[in-house]
Amino acid sequence: MFRISEYKKVQSLQEAWELNQKKSTRTAGGMTWLRLRHNPAGTFVDLSGLGLDRIEETEDEIRIGCMVTLRELENSEVMDRYTEGAAKAAVCHIIGVQFRNMATVGGSIFGRFGFSDVLTLFLAFDTSVEMYRGSGKTELVPLTEFAAAKPDRDILTRIIIRKEKLHAAYESVRTNASTDFPALTAAGALLEDGSIRLVIGAKPQRAERVPAAESWKAERPFAERSEETPLLTEETIRAFAEEARKTVKTGSNMRGSSRYRSALVGVETARILRTLAGAKKTVNTEGNVREGAAGCAERSGTGESDHAQNRNLRKEEKGVHA
C-alpha cells in the first residue's frame, strides 16, 4: 500500500520531468509495482495522457511506448512475430490478466527488478531505452547499460529494439504456481552471424547477459536450421549449459537456494539453446513436450503440473552433468 498527497496528470514530458526532480515524486505507469514501496509519495505523476501507449514498427525498429501494458505486449502481433513467441512466453505467467492489463512495460524496465521477466526478455535483443533529460532533450541508452545503472530522475519514454535477423527463446521456472514470481528466468537470441546471446535473471539478482556466451557460435549456417540439421549439436548444447552453470553467480532467497538456482541455470540454458538451434523438442518422463514459447498453454493447465515440472528439472539437471 502507498499514499500520495497530490495527483498530477501531466500534459507534457517537460512538465513530468520538472515534477520528477523532487525526491518525493513518483512517476506512475499502471501503479502495480508502486505497491512494493512503503514510503509515501508527495506528488503522483500520471503519464497516460502523453500518447506513449503504442507499439510502432518501422523497417529498422520496434518502438514500444512506456505506457504499453504487459497485456498489450503479450498480444502484440509485431512482438510475437519478431520474438517468435518469446515475448508472450515472458509475460503470460505474470500474476494474472487483470494485473497485466494495468502493469506497464516502462514500469517493468525502469524498476530493474531482480524478478523481472520483461527485463530478461529485452536484454536478449539489441534494445535501447529512450530517456527524456529535460529541456526537450532525449537520449538513447543501451539497455545493458541502463539495467546496470542506479535509478535517476529522468523519464523513460520508450523501449526501442533495433531489428536483427535472429531466432529467440524464453524460459522461466516458477516453483509454487504458474503465476508466482520466478525462481529463475532465461532468454536467448541466435543471430544470423551465428553469435549467441544468453540472459539469466531472477538469480535472484536482476537479469544480465552471460559473458561466457559471447564466445559461443552456431555450428551450421543460419539458413540451414531445421529439426534434422539443428545449428548446435546436443554435445555442444550440454557443454555450453555446463559452462553457464559454472560461471553464472546465483544467490538464495525464499524461492530457491543458490545451489538450486545454479542447477536451473544449466537446465534452462540447455532448453534455450535447443530452441534457438531448432532441435527436436524433448519429451519429459511425464510424456509432455517442452516447447519454450508455447509453454504458456502448457503450464497453465494443459500440460505438466508445477510439481512434475520441478521433478523433471532435477532429472534434466542430472542429464546436463552426465
Count the domains in the chain. 3
- Supply the pLDDT for residue 300: 42
Q: What cell was used for 210?
A: 552471460
CA distances from 307 to 59, 72, 89, 270, 312 (A): 44, 30, 19, 20, 9
Tell me, yes or no, whether 270 and 174 share the same domain: yes
Residues spanned by the domain of 129: 55-162
Per-residue pLDDT of the chain (322 residues; tens, 9 = 90+): 567 788 899 999 999 999 999 988 888 765 555 555 556 568 889 999 999 999 999 999 999 999 999 999 999 999 999 999 999 999 999 988 989 999 999 999 999 999 999 999 999 999 999 999 999 999 999 999 999 999 899 999 999 999 999 999 999 998 876 667 899 999 999 999 999 999 999 999 999 999 999 999 999 999 999 999 999 999 999 999 999 999 999 999 998 999 999 999 999 999 999 999 999 765 443 333 333 455 565 444 433 444 455 555 555 544 544 4
Amino acid at 199: V
Q: Are strands 4-9 and 41-46 parallel, antiparallel or unpaired?
A: parallel
**Confidence (pTM):** 0.87
Tell me, yes or no, whether 155 and 263 share the same domain: no
- CA dihedral sign of residues 59, 65, 71, 72: negative
The CATH number for 122's domain is 3.30.465.10
Enter the DSSP assignment of 124.
T
Tell me, yes or no, whether 174 and 314 share the same domain: yes
Adjacency order of strands within the sheet including 26-28: 4-9, 41-46, 26-28
As a whole number of angstroms, the distance between CA 91 and CA 296 comes to: 9
- Supply the pLDDT for residue 39: 60
* Phi/psi-derived region of residue 112, left when phi > 0, alpha when psi is between -120 and 50, beta in every other case: left
Tell me, yes or no, whether 140 and 268 share the same domain: no
